[in-house]
């Protein structure tokens, strides 16, 4: 029996690849492998509807168990790939930390990105959190009942969404962004201005052009955030959302060219001409009409992962 396609990464891009292949009539075996101990789930809702208790855990799931079985997609949970032996024709074997082996005829990397960590005094204090995956969201949700004041560091989409959710849940929230406007990497100035006005009207205290010096303790846990100008913003909880780092380690280990992600062509093929890379980990030619020759981008969005 053929080993088929192994997709490493079971978030939006990996799920979209598997389901699209079946919809297009691809009949070979497909293994969808993730390193979390959860069925494939939607990440965007973690900072919004799920955090606010508006949807259940089951509503986060992409598909039912029956769907995966009916479409012969083998979903594997809780397996972290640490080494890949790949042949010139694109086939090979992926080796998991658990000792399990996953042979494949074709490999797709949908390995995503990880939260960028702050390198400041106090970042290891209890109550300093990041929000990237379901386990992060579970910890955040468990702490919210004991929180009166929260500080969110980072005015990108994740930080802004989480800050808005916490404010809607009745918490006093201060959002700190180092840039002069919100979501500076993803939207234009007019949209930034609209977001600023909207969220300030909704009760968020938003500080722009503000740098963080350190996280301040209160006893043995977090107590606030000290800014570069000496101000201290009191906090029972600090949520950090200062961007992500693409997961390129596996790609680099098998000789694929990486530069702010795994470099792919317009067909999502990596430098070996056979391995596919999709989603947050992929650096692709800019698809916007009229983009300069040779311009490349790495998108962190649901739409990009699906397309």
Residue 288: its pLDDT value, please?
87
Cβ pair 103, 96 in contact under 8 A: no
- Give the model's pLDDT for residue 44: 86
Size of the chain, expressed as the number of residues it contains: 307
Q: What is the pLDDT of residue 301?
A: 86
Cβ within 8 Å of residue 133, ≥6 positions away: 36, 43, 46
- Tell me the pLDDT tens digit for each residue of 157-180: 999 999 999 999 999 999 999 999
Q: What is the CA radius of gyration of the chain?
A: 21
- What is the distance between the alpha carbons of residues 273 and 254, in angstroms, rounded to a whole number? 13
Task: Check residue 267 and give its pLDDT.
Answer: 95
Q: Quote the tokens at residue 215.
A: 């996280």
- Tens digits of residue pLDDT in 105-158: 999 999 999 999 999 999 999 999 999 999 999 999 999 999 999 999 999 999
Going by pLDDT thresholds of 50, 70 and 90, the confidence category of residue 185 is: confident
Report pLDDT digits (tens) over 227-267: 999 999 999 999 999 999 999 999 999 999 999 999 999 99
Is-contact 129 135, C-beta < 8 A?
A: no
The predicted model scores a pTM of 0.93
Which pLDDT tens digit goes with each residue over 287-297?
Answer: 889 999 999 99
Task: List, for residues 30-56, the tens digit of each pLDDT value.
Answer: 999 999 999 999 998 899 899 998 988
Percent of the chain at pLDDT above 90? Answer: 88
Q: Which domains does the chain have, with CATH numbers?
A: 5-114+245-306 (3.50.50.60), 117-242 (3.50.50.60)
Q: Residue 2 has what pLDDT?
A: 64
Query: Tens digits of per-residue pLDDT, 60-96?
Result: 999 999 999 999 999 999 999 999 999 999 999 999 9
Question: Is residue 1 over pLDDT 80?
Answer: no
Q: What is the DSSP string of 131-148?
A: -SSHHHHHHHHHHGGG-S
Where are the extended beta strands (E) located within 37-91? 73-76, 81-86
Distances (CA, A) of 4 to 70, 138, 205: 17, 34, 52
pLDDT digits (tens, 9 = 90+) for 186-214: 889 999 999 999 999 999 999 999 999 99
């Amino acid at each position: 029996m053929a080993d088929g396609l192994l997709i490493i990464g079971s978030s939006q891009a990996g799920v979209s690849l598997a389901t699209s292949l079946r919809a297009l009539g691809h009949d070979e075996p497909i293994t969808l492998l993730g390193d979390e101990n959860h069925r494939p789930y939607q990440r965007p809702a973690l900072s919004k509807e799920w955090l606010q208790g508006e949807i259940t855990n089951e509503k986060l799931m992409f598909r039912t168990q029956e769907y995966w079985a009916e479409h012969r997609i083998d979903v594997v949970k809780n397996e972290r790939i640490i080494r890949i032996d790949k042949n010139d024709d694109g086939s090979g074997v992926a080796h998991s930390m658990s000792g399990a082996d996953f042979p494949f005829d074709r490999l797709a990397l949908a390995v995503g990105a990880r939260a960028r960590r702050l390198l400041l005094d106090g970042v290891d204090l209890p109550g300093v959190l990041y929000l990237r995956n379901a386990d992060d969201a579970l910890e955040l949700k468990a702490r919210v009942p004991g929180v009166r004041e929260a500080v969110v560091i980072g005015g990108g989409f994740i930080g802004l969404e989480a800050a808005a959710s916490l404010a809607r849940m009745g918490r006093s929230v201060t959002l700190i962004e180092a840039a002069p406007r919100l979501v500076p990497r993803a939207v234009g100035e007019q949209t930034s201005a609209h977001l600023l006005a909207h969220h300030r009207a909704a009760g968020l205290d938003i500080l722009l052009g503000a740098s963080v010096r350190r996280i301040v303790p209160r006893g043995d846990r977090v107590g606030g955030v000290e800014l570069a100008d000496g101000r201290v913003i009191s906090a029972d909880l600090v949520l950090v959302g200062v961007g992500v780092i693409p997961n390129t380690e596996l790609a680099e280990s098998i000789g694929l060219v990486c530069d702010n992600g795994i470099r792919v062509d317009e067909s999502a093929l990596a430098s070996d001409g056979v391995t596919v890379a999709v989603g947050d980990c992929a650096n692709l030619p800019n698809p916007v009409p009229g983009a300069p020759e040779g311009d490349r981008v790495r998108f962190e969005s649901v739409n990009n992962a699906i397309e």
